[in-house]
């Protein structure tokens, strides 16, 4: 499926329980519903996000950057309400021009149905289309569930930087960097690992 198709929105049939979700690239028209989505996330999770996404101007900036092509941002929605969000951010310096960072959050009530895998798979495709060679995820030490989910989806822990970040409560945390190569071998492994989710996008 071509990445470009996403800009028109695609109906996806199969989360594991048969729920239909629509994937679309984020536009300025999505500001209110994306803000609503972020504000509804548990505070215990939001505190590990890099930015205060409850603030309108922050979400406005994130969408603007996506519209300007500095990032690729997708929304998953059901009945017009956002239930999942994924982003691929491209490094801007030449040292890391081959690196893409992905960030995914699924609404708690939609977890364990395959949506996280679906979003990550789409972000991989977007990364490949942009000649990204290596995809990373950065997360806080206490985000063990996210780490396990990423491992399940093919990422490996590459580094743990001790006391390298502060969460929104001001507590210092380790920063975990996970990575995934986009070479042929990794791709084959990914297709294998995601076999059970494959039908959702085909
Ligand atoms: C991580 C996250 C995106 C996973 O989304 P999801 O829709 O539940 O993921 P999926 O249903 O596609 O699960 C894929 C696999 O990951 C693993 N997994 C998912 N959540 C897990 C958890 N909490 N603990 C352990 N494994 C987990 C499972 O193996 C799962 O496959 P299975 O259900 O077939 O066993 C979601 O839990 C989330 O949004 N967490 C908060 C994210 C966050 O803070 N992001 C910011 C940093 S990027």
Distance CA 70, CA 56 (A): 19
Q: Do residues 39 and 56 lie in contact, with contact meaning Cβ atoms separated by under 8 Å? A: no
Q: Where are the domains of the chain?
A: 25-193
The torsion defined by the Cα of 165, 117, 35 and 58, in degrees rounded to 10, comes to 40
The predicted model scores a pTM of 0.89
Distance CA 173, CA 50 (A): 13
* pLDDT tens track, the chain, 202 positions: 344 444 545 656 568 898 999 999 999 999 999 999 999 999 999 999 999 999 999 999 999 999 998 999 999 999 999 999 999 999 888 999 999 999 999 999 999 999 998 899 899 989 999 999 999 999 999 999 999 989 988 899 999 999 999 999 999 999 999 999 988 777 777 777 766 555 434 3
Q: Do residues 180 and 191 lie in contact, with contact meaning Cβ atoms separated by under 8 Å? A: no
Distance CA 13, CA 98 (A): 33
Task: Please enumerate in sequence order all residues whose Cβ is within 8 A of that of 29, keeping only pairs 6 or more positions apart, or say none.
Answer: none
3-state helix, strand, coil in the chain (%, to 5): 40, 30, 30
Distance CA 175, CA 188 (A): 29
Task: Find the 168 Cα to ligand 1 centroid distance in Å.
Answer: 22
Question: What pLDDT, on a 0 to 100 scale, did the predictor assign at position 3?
Answer: 42
Ligand 1 atom, smallest distance to 104 CA: 48
Q: Which helix (H) or strand (E) holds 62?
A: helix 56-67
Question: What pLDDT, on a 0 to 100 scale, did the predictor assign at position 1?
Answer: 39
Residue among 76, 116, 147 whose CB has most ligand 1 atoms within 8 A, to mutate: 116
Question: What pLDDT, on a 0 to 100 scale, did the predictor assign at position 89?
Answer: 95
Say whether domain 25-193 belongs to CATH 3.40.630.30: yes
Question: What pLDDT, on a 0 to 100 scale, did the predictor assign at position 173?
Answer: 98
Residues in contact with ligand 1 by the CB-under-6-Å rule are: 45, 48, 103-106, 111-117, 137, 139, 143, 145-146, 148-149, 152
Q: Which two tokens stand for residue 57?
A: 């101007």
Distance CA 117, CA 196 (A): 10
User: For the chain, what is the largest distance between any 2 Cα atoms, rounded to a whole number of angstroms?
Assistant: 43
Task: Find the 110 Cα to ligand 1 centroid distance in Å.
Answer: 10
Q: Do residues 120 and 200 lie in contact, with contact meaning Cβ atoms separated by under 8 Å? A: no
């Amino acid at each position: 499926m071509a990445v470009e198709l996403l800009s028109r929105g695609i109906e996806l049939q199969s989360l594991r329980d048969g729920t239909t979700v629509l994937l679309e690239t984020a536009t300025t028209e999505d500001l209110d519903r994306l803000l609503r989505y972020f504000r509804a996330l548990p505070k215990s999770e939001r505190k590990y996000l890099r930015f205060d996404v409850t603030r309108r101007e922050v979400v406005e900036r994130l969408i603007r950057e996506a519209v300007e092509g500095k990032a690729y941002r997708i929304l998953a929605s059901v009945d017009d309400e956002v239930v999942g969000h994924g982003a691929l951010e491209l490094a801007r310096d030449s040292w890391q021009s081959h690196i893409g960072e992905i960030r995914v959050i699924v609404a708690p009530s939609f977890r364990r149905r395959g949506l996280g895998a679906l979003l990550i798979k789409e972000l991989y495709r977007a990364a490949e289309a942009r000649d990204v060679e290596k995809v990373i995820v950065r997360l806080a030490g206490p985000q063990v569930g996210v780490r396990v989910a990423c491992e399940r989806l093919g990422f490996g822990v590459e580094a743990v930087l001790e006391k390298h970040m502060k969460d929104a409560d001001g507590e210092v945390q380790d920063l975990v960097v996970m990575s995934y190569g986009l070479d042929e071998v990794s791709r084959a492994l990914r297709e294998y690992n995601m076999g059970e989710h494959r039908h959702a996008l085909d």
